[in-house]
Amino acid sequence: MSSSTPLLAVDELSVVFGGHGSDEVRAVDGVSFTLEEGRVTGLVGESGCGKSVTSLALMGLLPDRGVRVGGSAVMQVPGGTADLLKLSQRRMRDLRGSQMAMIFQDPLSSLNPVVPIGRQVTEILRRHRGMRGSAAAKEAAELLDRVGIPDPERRLREYPHQLSGGMRQRALIAMAVACRPRVMIADEPTTALDVTIQAQILELLKNLVTEEGTALLMITHDLGVVAGLCDDINVLYAGRAVEKAPRAPLFAQPTHPYTVGLLGSIPRLDAPRGEPLTPIRGSINDNIAWTRGCAFAPRCDHYTMECLQGPPDLVAVGAAAGVEGGGGSTGAAAEHVHRCVNPVRGADTADRSAPESPAAVGEDEEAQG
C-alpha cells in the first residue's frame, strides 16, 4: 500500500464554515487519507459527518466566501506535485475535469436540463482535449458506449429528462472519465438509483478503476457499497476519522462503537419478521465538540467518564492503553486505527456477519467493565 508515493495525500484537512468564534462550524476537522492508483478509498458516515464537504474541498468547489480550508492535499500532477488546497482558481479549473473528476449524488439535478447530453459531454472534451466538431461528437458517442449507454448517437441529441435515472448517472460518469482523470471522486453516486441499477453503476466504477488505474474516492453512507467496492475505508464522525482500516479487518473486527453501530443498523434479510431495526440512538446533532471529548460519546453505549476527558487520538487498534487487544486485531494493527479510548473488544465482535444489536453489545461490555 505504502510502497509508492500516493497519487493524492490528504493531510489534516479541515474545513471551517462561518468563522466568528462560536458561530463557526468545523465541518471537517483534521482528516487524513491517501488515494492510490487502482484502489478505491471509502469515506463512510451518516449525513453531516463531513464526507461531502471533504470532496468539495478537494475539488475546490466550496464557496469562495465564509469558508476556511486548512491542511494539505498534495496530488501528483503532470510535471510534479501540487497542493490542491493552495492552487489558484485558474489552475484548479485546469485540473478539474482533466486530472480529477467528480460524480455527484443526484444525476437528474446534476445535469443541465436545457442542454443536450452530447453538448454536456463534448464541452469537457473541448475544454481539456481541444476536440471540436465531429471528432468531439465521435469521442462523446464512444464514451457513452463505454459506460454502457445503448444507441449513443441518439442519446447525444437527447436531453437529461429523456433519459432514465441509470442512464443519467452513466452519462455523468462518461463526462467524468472523458479526459481519463487520475483521481475520481464519487459522492454517493448510487443513492438516487434503484437497487439493480446501483449494482450496475458500482460494477462500472469498479471496472473503470481496474482498467484505467484511476484512484477512486468513494463517498457513501451505504456499507453495502463499501463492502463491495472499497479497498480502504475511513469512517467519519462529526468531521473526524474515527476508524480507518482496509476492508477485511474493518468488517471483521470493527472496534469503534460508531462503526459497530453502523454495521449493526444494516437491515438483515435473515432477521425474524417484525424484528425492529437497530439504529444508532440520537442524531448527529447530539454531538459534543471534539475538544471536550469524543463527539460520539452522547450516542455511545460504551462511553465512560474517560471519553469526556479531551479529544481521543487516532491510535493503532490494540495499542490504546487499558484495552486488552483481541487476538485477531494484532496482525492488521498498523493499518487499522481508531479514535476511541474505550473500543469494542475484538472478541465481542468476531462474528460480524451476525451481529447482535449494538445495545446488546454495549450491555455486555458494561458488564465486563
Partner 1 sequence: MLRFIVRRLLQLIPTLGGLSILLFVWLQRLPGGPEYALLPDDATAEQRAELRRSLGLDEPVMVQYLAFLRRIAQGDLGTSLTTGRAVTEEFLTRFPATVELSVTAMLIAVTAGIPLGYLAARRRGSVLDVAAVGGSLLGICTPVFFLAFILKVVFAEKLGILPSAFRLSPGTNRTDLSGLVVLDGLRTGEFDVVWNALLHLALPGVALASIPLAVIVRMTRASVLEVVGEDYVRTANAKGLHRNTVRTRHVMRNALLPVVTSVGLLTGALFSGAVLTESVFAFPGIGSFIYEATQTRDYPVLTGFILLIATMYVFINLLVDISYSLLDPRVRAQ
- Minimum distance of partner 1 from residue 56's CB (angstroms): 8
- Minimum distance of partner 1 from residue 147's CB (angstroms): 16
Contact 320, 340 (CB under 8 A): yes
Nearer to partner 1, 92 or 360 (CB): 92
Count of residues touching partner 1 (by CB under 8 A) = 31
Which one of 127, 129, 206, 352 is in contact with partner 1 (CB under 8 A)?
Answer: 127
34 touches partner 1 by CB under 8 A? no
Nearer to partner 1, 74 or 102 (CB): 102
Which part of the chain contacts partner 1 (CB under 8 A), choosing from 122-130, 195-203, 236-244, 329-337?
Answer: 122-130
Q: Alpha carbon of 32 to those of 42, 319, 330: distances in Å? A: 12, 20, 23
Contact 238, 287 (CB under 8 A): yes
- Cα 86 to chain centroid, rounded: 22
Residue 319: partners with Cβ closer than 8 Å, 6 or more residues away:
325, 333
DSSP classification of residue 301: S
Which one of 124, 186, 205, 344 is in contact with partner 1 (CB under 8 A)?
Answer: 124
Query: Can you say whether residue 42 is alpha, beta or left, with left for phi > 0 and alpha for psi between -120 and 50 degrees?
Result: beta
Q: Which is it for strands 240-246 and 8-17: parallel, antiparallel or unpaired?
A: unpaired
- Minimum distance of partner 1 from residue 194's CB (angstroms): 20
Range 78-107, binding partner 1 (CB under 8 A)? 92-98, 101-102, 104, 106
Q: How many CB atoms lie within 10 A of CB 276?
A: 7
- Minimum distance of partner 1 from residue 102's CB (angstroms): 4
Nearer to partner 1, 48 or 116 (CB): 116
- Cα 358 to chain centroid, rounded: 23
Which one of 5, 47, 81, 109 is in contact with partner 1 (CB under 8 A)?
Answer: 109
- Cα 154 to chain centroid, rounded: 34
- Minimum distance of partner 1 from residue 101's CB (angstroms): 7
Task: Kindly state the cell numbers that stand for 156.
Answer: 447525444
The helix/strand/coil state of 364 is: helix
Nearest Cα residue to 226 out of 53, 9, 1, 43: 43
334 touches partner 1 by CB under 8 A? no
Nearer to partner 1, 149 or 163 (CB): 163
Q: Residue written as cell 450496475? A: 200
Q: How many CB atoms lie within 10 A of CB 71?
A: 18
Which one of 78, 79, 80, 113 is in contact with partner 1 (CB under 8 A)?
Answer: 113
Task: Kindly state the cell numbers that stand for 154.
Answer: 441518439
43 touches partner 1 by CB under 8 A? no
Range 140-199, binding partner 1 (CB under 8 A)? 159, 161-162, 172, 175
**H or E stretch at 32:** strand 25-35
Nearer to partner 1, 107 or 325 (CB): 107
Nearer to partner 1, 66 or 331 (CB): 66
- Minimum distance of partner 1 from residue 151's CB (angstroms): 18
- Burial label for 89, CB within 10 Å (0-12, 13-18, 19+), is exposed
Which one of 11, 37, 46, 123 is in contact with partner 1 (CB under 8 A)?
Answer: 123
Which part of the chain contacts partner 1 (CB under 8 A), choosing from 76-84, 111-119, 223-231, 312-320?
Answer: 111-119
Distance CA 141, CA 138 (A): 5
Which one of 49, 59, 183, 216 is in contact with partner 1 (CB under 8 A)?
Answer: 59
- Minimum distance of partner 1 from residue 158's CB (angstroms): 9
Residue 222: partners with Cβ closer than 8 Å, 6 or more residues away:
188, 190, 191
Point out which residues bind partner 1 (CB under 8 A).
Answer: 59, 61, 92-98, 101-102, 104, 106, 109-116, 119, 123-124, 127-128, 159, 161-162, 172, 175
